[in-house]
Amino acid sequence: MRALVQRVSRCSVRVDGKVVSRIGPGLLVFLGISVRDGREDIDYIVQKVVNLRVFDDREGRLNLSLVDVGGELMVVSQFTLYGDARKGRRPSYTEAAPPEVAEALYRETCRAFDAAGFPPALGVFGARMEVELVNDGPVTLLVESPTRS
């Protein structure tokens, strides 16, 4: 599982020109799900994201987590995080989970964030979305769950 995490001042998601979700200061997580992912990956990503120390403390150091600052959270599915562009010009998505598997794991991940005390604003799975964000910092990190064979 891959989570591209961005610290944001604000962000919103539009589908068909209508805002379907928005948050203020917090984290935007673009979530990619692979064919190998399961419950262990969900637990890892949720705990890692909510505890990442990516917010400024009083000295201006990245030393506080979402838990510490009580920020908001948005989770948007993004299968293209598993695009492999090493060969040719068209990315291969063979490592991305098929939509029906990915959607179930996406929803389970969102429930796990909620259970951890951070009910996420959501994108619309499978929709063509316009994600508008103000990256604060900028701070952007790629978090991956441990690889299993």
Q: Do the domain assignments include residue 84? A: yes
Here the CATH number for the domain that contains residue 55 is 3.50.80.10
- Catalytic status, residue 80: yes
Q: Do the domain assignments include residue 28? A: yes
- Catalytic status, residue 55: no
- Catalytic status, residue 78: yes
Q: Do the domain assignments include residue 149? A: no
- What is the number of other CB atoms lying within 10 angstroms of the CB of residue 104? 13
**How many domains are there within the chain?**
1
What is the 3-state secondary structure of the chain? CEEEEEEEEEEEEEECCEEEEEECCEEEEEEECECCCCHHHHHHHHHHHHHCCCEECCCCCEEECHHHHCCEEEEEECHHHHCECCCCCCCECCCECCHHHHHHHHHHHHHHHHHCCCCCEECCCCCCEEEEEEEEEEEEEEEECCCCC
Range of the domain at 46: 2-144
CA dihedral (35, 36, 38, 42) positive or negative: negative
Catalytic site residue from 30, 55, 79, 118: 79
Catalytic site residue from 6, 30, 78, 109: 78
- One pLDDT digit (tens) per residue for the chain, 149 residues: 999 999 999 999 999 999 999 999 999 999 999 999 999 999 999 999 999 999 999 999 999 999 999 999 999 999 999 999 999 999 999 999 999 999 999 999 999 999 999 999 999 999 999 999 999 999 999 999 997 65
